């Protein structure tokens, strides 16, 4: 007996030693490896010379008052500053020495109140903030102040970002406020945790475990959003299930809302228009039926009782098989305003999607949304926003701006961007999307003279709209690194930064993200920044150059299939979009064709309709062009097209080399993961080039120009299998 005991003890001591050793090993290797979970909030120690300077200016964190948001502010600053400076930066109750970081609002912090900043803070609003180096109680301190607690949290993240990006903090005088009010992620998440167009694992919302169990990861999701100013999250797919409005699911949604609230993230739900029928057996969902309107009012009351700061409903109506008012011979305004009336007493909004394109024989899909919605300008209730995709077709690698921007001056309009890369290589391709979104935000609608940019339509400067916003279809999931591709994180980040300030330059956004997430080493930084800023242009080159669009494989939209013509609806087939024939290539949207150009203001229309004025990047979007037409380079269209495809492939090869040169600078785990994805990206770029050129060549009947490599496979081989069938990259 005794012996056994002893042996057991010895084994367990040995076990402990082994365990400790393993832990140590883990600690050593985890110092180097990085699984990407921490996103841009890593807070690893800054270089000694940098942190030394900061240390004199940052010695303690003074957050007076108690609330969940203030607790979050305190925890973020203490954790973040301690990590960055490599030594404890404790929380304190008062300013006792130089270097205190004082955070709060005039109403919860006597220190902030004593500064008499009320007027300035009022001008910045409850989400805006002021950061100033100041003297408080005879000490040099930094004050982060806002009218609202969430603004103070945003200010805290801003301050941390200054340190993370190694900016001076000794003479701070920062005033910030968000330019758009609703900065919202749209999750296309289903109740079974699958994610439509999601490429990063499963949905973050574990509906089965909720409301009893809330995954702690949701706090990190909310923190990440708050750090870039995202203040809303639509939890469920726009192709929605009525169940999410049922009493049991509302309890689950309440648990999520309670988790997000301290971080200023409000929840919204996609509402299925036929929910009154499906949930409670009403005979109709006709928006003009008083019983239907009463049902929605009761539903809204029920929701707000549980979630007092509920954001509102997002609605995809009469689009791709979804029910809507038109099912009952009513119109979009009838539908949206009925829901708006239910939400108005609670200050909720209806976000009505403009993604509608009922097919008519011979119609142009690019013109459909404008035709169906523009006539309703001025008719929507004050708490309705129209959510319009960046372009008129569907999240293509490049589209000219949607003609609805600028065309509905009496309607509140939000931009819908897609962060998840449905048409841009899923989570396999490195594509930094900020330049793409910049392109649409900077587009000049010309409706009120030069400078009538989309960003001015959105932020209300052009037409004075009261509620403003921007939505991004999320790319997050249960993958450890959140977004599948480590660089997908940069698109989540960029979306938030642009929703905060639609004029933020892509380079600045990339620079911040790289420094916070990957490396601050100047040479490596420059390499990564160049890769990111060029990446979107490269994807356009190897997928859809010169204005081509929607030539992806049907269904999953991954890889090329310009030959596709099997779908019943003409406008789901690539051949509908490129219109290749013996004469040339491209969709004629001028007066000789669909005349969709007429939907733009006269100045813009004149440019897009004129073959010699239209920018070449949009050429084949607007015009059907002969194969031998002379381009600005002096080459004919066919040669130019082929060289674009080749250029895209060359870019990926060069990017792979550049990335390889960074091994040793970037931690091995993420470096290796990105390198493996770049390998897939090269394979895909080659397939895109080959498949498209082989197919278009059957019409152009011309040889490949010099400098373009011959195809690796035959057209038949490319047609036989989609890129997803060839092997199974992560999906
Ligand atoms: C398309 C997607 C589809 C979405 C639709 C939408 O292919 O999955 O449901 O957009 O935006 O891009 O509603």
Cβ of 197 closer than 6 Å to ligand 1, yes or no, is yes
CA 374 to ligand 1 center in whole angstroms: 21
In CATH terms, the superfamily for domain 541-587+624-725 is Alpha-glucuronidase, C-terminal domain (3.90.1330.10)
The pLDDT tens digits of the residues spanning 85-135 come to 999 999 999 999 999 999 999 999 999 999 999 999 999 999 999 999 999
CA 295, CA 290: separation in Å to the nearest integer?
Answer: 9
Ligand 1 atom with the smallest distance to the CA of 196 is 8
Ligand 1 atom with the smallest distance to the CA of 197 is 8
Cβ of 161 closer than 6 Å to ligand 1, yes or no, is no
Cβ of 389 closer than 6 Å to ligand 1, yes or no, is no
Cβ of 316 closer than 6 Å to ligand 1, yes or no, is yes
Cβ of 239 closer than 6 Å to ligand 1, yes or no, is yes
Cβ of 416 closer than 6 Å to ligand 1, yes or no, is no
Cβ of 272 closer than 6 Å to ligand 1, yes or no, is no
Ligand 1 atom with the smallest distance to the CA of 423 is 12
Ligand 1 atom with the smallest distance to the CA of 473 is 11
Query: Among 3.30.360.10, 3.20.20.80, 3.40.720.10, 3.40.190.10, what is the CATH number of 182-504?
Result: 3.20.20.80
CA 172, CA 166: separation in Å to the nearest integer?
Answer: 13
Question: Domain residues of the chain, as ranges?
Answer: 2-176, 182-504, 541-587+624-725
394 is known as an active-site residue:
yes
3-state secondary structure of 64: coil
CA 401 to ligand 1 center in whole angstroms: 18
Point out the catalytic residue in the list 127, 149, 394, 512: 394
Provide the token pair at 95: 């300013």
User: Which residue is it, tokens 């509608």?
Assistant: 356
Cβ of 355 closer than 6 Å to ligand 1, yes or no, is yes
Cβ of 196 closer than 6 Å to ligand 1, yes or no, is yes
CA angle, 414 as apex, 409 and 420 as ends, to 5°? 150
Residue having the nearest C-alpha atom to atom 11 of ligand 1: 355
How does DSSP classify residue 138?
A: T
pLDDT of residue 7: 43
CA 126 to ligand 1 center in whole angstroms: 34
CA 314 to ligand 1 center in whole angstroms: 14
Cβ of 394 closer than 6 Å to ligand 1, yes or no, is yes
Cβ of 471 closer than 6 Å to ligand 1, yes or no, is no
Residue having the nearest C-alpha atom to atom 9 of ligand 1: 239
Point out the catalytic residue in the list 320, 503, 581, 610: 320
Cβ of 395 closer than 6 Å to ligand 1, yes or no, is yes
3-state secondary structure of 361: coil
CA 500 to ligand 1 center in whole angstroms: 25
Residue having the nearest C-alpha atom to atom 10 of ligand 1: 394
- Dihedral sign computed on CA atoms, order 477, 479, 480, 485: negative
Whole-structure pTM value:
0.95
- How far is residue 173 from each of residues 105, 130, 301, 331, measured CA to CA in Å? 17, 7, 44, 50
Q: Are 392 and 447 in contact (CB under 8 A)?
A: no
Kindly state the helix (H) or strand (E) to which residue 392 belongs, with its residue range: none
pLDDT of residue 1: 36
pLDDT of residue 32: 61
CA 98 to ligand 1 center in whole angstroms: 54
Query: How many alpha carbons lie under 13 Å from residue 585 in its C-beta half-sphere?
Result: 32
Ligand 1 atom with the smallest distance to the CA of 418 is 12
pLDDT of residue 425: 98
pLDDT of residue 727: 59
Point out the catalytic residue in the list 127, 331, 422, 684: 422
Burial class of residue 104 (count of CB atoms within 10 Å of its CB; 0-12, 13-18, 19+): buried
Ligand 1 atom with the smallest distance to the CA of 416 is 11
pLDDT of residue 360: 81
CA 629, CA 150: separation in Å to the nearest integer?
Answer: 57
CA 148, CA 127: separation in Å to the nearest integer?
Answer: 6
Residues 6+ apart with CB under 8 A from 49: none
pLDDT of residue 23: 40
Peptide linkage before 23 cis (omega within 30 of 0): no
Residue having the nearest C-alpha atom to atom 12 of ligand 1: 394
CA 316 to ligand 1 center in whole angstroms: 10
Most ligand 1 atoms within 8 A of CB, residue of 238, 270, 390, 415 to mutate: 238
Low-confidence ranges of the chain (pLDDT < 70): 1-32, 727-731
Ligand 1 atom with the smallest distance to the CA of 316 is 13
Cβ of 241 closer than 6 Å to ligand 1, yes or no, is no
What phi and psi values does residue 718 have, to the nearest 5 degrees?
-65, -35
422 is known as an active-site residue:
yes
Topology (CATH level 3) of domain 2-176: Chitobiase; domain 2 (3.30.379)
Strand order in the sheet with 139-145: 91-92, 60-63, 100-104, 139-145, 129-136, 173-176
571 is known as an active-site residue:
no
CA 432 to ligand 1 center in whole angstroms: 21
Most ligand 1 atoms within 8 A of CB, residue of 189, 241, 320 to mutate: 320
CA 393 to ligand 1 center in whole angstroms: 10
CA 237 to ligand 1 center in whole angstroms: 10
pLDDT of residue 494: 99
CA 600 to ligand 1 center in whole angstroms: 24
């Amino acid at each position: 007996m005794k012996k056994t005991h002893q042996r057991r003890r010895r084994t367990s001591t040995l076990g402990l030693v082994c365990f400790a050793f393993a832990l140590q090993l883990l600690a050593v290797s985890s110092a180097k490896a990085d699984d990407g979970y921490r996103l841009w909030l890593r807070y690893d120690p800054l270089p000694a010379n940098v942190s030394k300077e900061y240390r004199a200016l940052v010695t303690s964190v003074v957050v007076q008052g108690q609330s969940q948001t203030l607790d979050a502010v305190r925890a973020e600053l203490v954790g973040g500053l301690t990590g960055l400076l490599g030594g404890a930066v404790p929380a304190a109750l008062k300013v006792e020495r130089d270097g205190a970081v004082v955070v709060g609002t005039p109403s919860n912090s006597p220190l902030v109140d004593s500064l008499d900043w009320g007027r300035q803070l009022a001008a910045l609003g409850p989400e805006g903030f002021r950061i100033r180096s100041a003297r408080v109680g005879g000490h040099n301190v930094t004050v982060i102040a806002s009218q609202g607690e969430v603004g103070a949290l945003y200010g805290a993240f801003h301050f941390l970002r200054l340190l993370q990006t190694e900016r001076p903090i000794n003479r701070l005088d920062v005033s910030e406020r968000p330019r758009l009010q609703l900065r919202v992620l749209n999750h296309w998440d289903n109740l079974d945790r699958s994610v439509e167009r999601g490429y990063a694992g499963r949905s973050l919302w574990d509906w089965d475990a909720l409301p009893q169990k809330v995954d702690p990861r949701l706090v990190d999701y909310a923190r990440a959003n708050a750090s870039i100013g995202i203040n809303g999250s639509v939890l469920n797919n726009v192709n929605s299930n009525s169940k999410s409005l049922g009493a049991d699911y509302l309890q689950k949604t309440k648990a999520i809302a309670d988790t997000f609230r301290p971080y200023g993230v409000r929840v919204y739900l996609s509402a299925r228009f036929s929910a009154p029928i499906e949930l409670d057996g009403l005979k109709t969902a006709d928006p003009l039926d008083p019983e239907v309107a009463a049902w929605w009012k009761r539903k809204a009351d029920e929701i707000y009782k549980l979630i007092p700061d509920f954001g509102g409903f997002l609605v995809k109506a009469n689009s791709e098989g979804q029910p809507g008012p038109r099912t009952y011979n009513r119109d979009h305004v009838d539908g949206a305003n009925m829901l708006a009336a239910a939400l108005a007493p609670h200050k909720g909004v209806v976000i009505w999607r403009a993604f509608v394109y009922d097919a008519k024989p011979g119609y142009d899909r690019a013109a459909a949304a404008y035709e169906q919605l523009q006539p309703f300008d001025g008719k929507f209730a004050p708490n309705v926003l129209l959510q319009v995709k960046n372009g008129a077709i569907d999240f293509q690698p490049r589209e000219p701006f949607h003609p609805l921007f600028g065309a509905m001056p009496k309607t509140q309009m939000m931009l819908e961007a897609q962060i998840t890369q449905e048409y841009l290589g899923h989570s396999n391709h490195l594509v930094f999307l900020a330049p793409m979104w910049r392109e649409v935000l900077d587009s000049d609608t010309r409706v009120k003279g030069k400078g009538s940019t989309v960003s001015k339509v959105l932020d209300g400067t052009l037409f004075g709209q009261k509620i403003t916003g921007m939505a991004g279809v999320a790319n997050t999931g249960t993958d450890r690194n959140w977004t599948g591709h480590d660089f997908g994180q940069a698109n989540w980040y960029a979306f938030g930064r642009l929703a905060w300030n639609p004029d933020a330059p892509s380079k600045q956004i990339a620079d911040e993200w790289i420094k916070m997430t990957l490396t601050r080493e100047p040479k490596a930084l420059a390499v990564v920044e160049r890769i990111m800023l060029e990446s979107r242009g490269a994807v356009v080159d190897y997928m859809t150059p010169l204005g081509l669009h929607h030539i992806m494989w049907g269904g999953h939209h991954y890889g090329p299939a310009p030959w596709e013509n099997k779908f019943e609806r003409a406008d789901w087939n690539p051949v509908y979009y490129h219109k290749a024939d013996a004469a040339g290539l491209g969709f004629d949207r001028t007066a000789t064709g669909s005349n969709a150009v007429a939907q733009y203001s006269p100045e813009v229309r004149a440019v897009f309709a004129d073959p010699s004025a239209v920018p070449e990047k949009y050429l084949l979007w607007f015009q059907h062009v002969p194969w031998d037409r002379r381009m600005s380079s002096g080459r004919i269209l066919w040669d130019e097209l082929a060289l674009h495809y080749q250029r895209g492939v060359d870019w990926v090869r060069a990017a792979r080399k550049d990335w390889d040169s960074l091994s040793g600078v970037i931690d091995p785990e993420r470096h290796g993961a990105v390198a493996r994805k770049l390998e897939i990206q090269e394979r895909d770029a080659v397939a895109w080039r080959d498949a498209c050129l082989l197919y278009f060549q059957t019409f152009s009947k011309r040889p490949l120009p010099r400098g373009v490599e011959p195809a690796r496979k035959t057209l038949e081989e490319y047609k036989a299998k989609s890129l997803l069938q060839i092997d199974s990259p992560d999906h």
